[in-house]
Structure 1
Amino acid sequence: MISGKRIRTFIQLLLSLSISVSLGTEAATKKEKKLASDSQTVQINGQIFIVTKGQEAVKLALVPVSIITEKEVQALLSSRAAALNQTRRELVPIILSKQQELDQLTGGNTKSFIQDLTEFDTLSNEQVNQALKCGKVPPSIWRDCLRELRPERIERARVLSAQLEPMRKNTGLVRAELVTASRKYKAGTDPSDFYTYMDGALASGGQLTKSDADGKFSFKFKKSSRLALMAKASRLVGDKEETYRWIVWLPSGKADDGKINITLANDNLLETNCADCVSYRSNIEEHKELSSVVTFSSENLPGAF
């Protein structure tokens, strides 16, 4: 018959073995979790430089480098596109209306002015151009301006100029309104605006690192999804400052050494809209009906007078 003392000893032994197995299992689980965590942490190595027209590679030091997750990128792109597209849709009819109004002012009145001047005269192209120029000069020098035209036409040209003066002013106002609407339509869509928007929206996240004297940077990051790098640098070229911006997707795979290597240079600048760039045109609607608009530049907008 087994004594009570032996039974207690046997039970204690079983409990001890159970605890050991439990601790061993727990340790193994922790190790597996650590290994899994380590496998999600990636080493990212990069270098930032610009190749000049003379084929010199200029390394860019002290450049702040940030990282963005795919979830953050997509959320910001959607929010930005929604706001811009709404504004652009509202501006389309305004731009088309102002362009049509400007076309009427510059086309019809110029044609009328030329027809009136050539009613009794057959003018060469040079003389027509000269007549149009005369519509802009002070009356005190009109006779010299119109010296190639018949004298009896000078007074008629003066009358026409006086009649067209209000139209000239109106043309200037319409032109200014068209330029303003067109600039609003384009606002926020160029690479500079896009980078400023993204950088401002992610300001709270802060930078991860800076490039060293050789333009190199390195850091570790827990990779849970697709990632993109953001960086912005500038340098003086003569008396002009050049600015370089990058928002580039990291390569999806690792190199043989288990690290991700990336270069930020001329070929993946934000404005190149490269295959690996986060597109600054993403989800932005285009309006084909605006192809009839001459230009959005005030320097090139047509003017009759």
Structure 2
Amino acid sequence: MNFKVSILGSITLEKCVQSVTFYVEPPSDDYTSRRTYPINSMIINGKIDADEKTIPLYEWALIPATDPNCYKDITVEETQSNQVVRKVNFSKAFVVDYSERFSNNTGVGYFSLFVRQLAGTDVECTSSAQQTAKAEMKSPEIKGTKILPQTQEEQVLEDKSLGKTTVGGISFTDRLIASKKEMQFNNQAPTLEDKRAVQARVDDIKNVMSEEEKKRTTFGVALVRTKDGKKEFWVSSAGQKGIVRTDIRKNDRVIKNKVPEGDSINRLNDAEQSLMRAAEEQEVEILAMGATRDMCPVCQEVAMSKGLLNKMVTPLKK
């Protein structure tokens, strides 16, 4: 799978991009909330390579919010076997955070770019299948909303922003919101037995941790069902090394699938993300999950996107 990141009038990156993550924060269900639009963000991680200049990313991050040039058009294309799997465009993106990390051990630098779409501005998402369909049929247009054709069949969904029904497709943002809500309803909550088992395991770990450890590190626990139907406990720690002491892990399986591009922004090496990533890679089912500290908002978004947020039995950070 390959990525191509294009920032209009500035830069094109292909070889150095390692991963791209999209986040959508839907409007709150709280009727007192004034925000009626979703918040769209993306995080791009990659290597700082001499073959592709990444200095324009740093320069973009330095532009103050008072300068109109802080908003840029950015497009990410994800391709596989010469087919566009996903093409996402943020037409008015600004930098929330940018970081660069270098190491003498590896001799390679890494960057992480966190951008967000201007509030209330639509995000476009297309694929090769949609582009083919677009050539065969003309999608209806509704003022104020960008409609993209669906593949294979027409889909009817209420457009909340307009109070109308759109046929033939929905915006990228609404599609993600609908997908997330569907995952929440379709994924069963943990059984009382599994909840109690995970909570007890988390409590056991906290009992052997020092007060200093409780403040600076996190251990995550997951009760999983393997392909052969057996239940087992997994444990992971936050950080690049993923070290878990013997008195903490006991008979649990230690998960250490850490990634070099993990940092304080994308939180890829947090204990919870390590567990979720391993479960996905090994095709096991997470029955219940917990951690020794409250789950951070970034990990909550990842868990939400995987339909696993309802598996958490310990508190979430607000």
Task: Flag the structure with higher strand content.
Answer: 2
Larger RCO of the pair (alpha carbons < 8 Å, separation 6+): 1
| TM-score, structure 1 as length reference | 0.21
| TM-score, structure 2 as length reference | 0.20
Task: Flag the structure with higher helix content.
Answer: 1
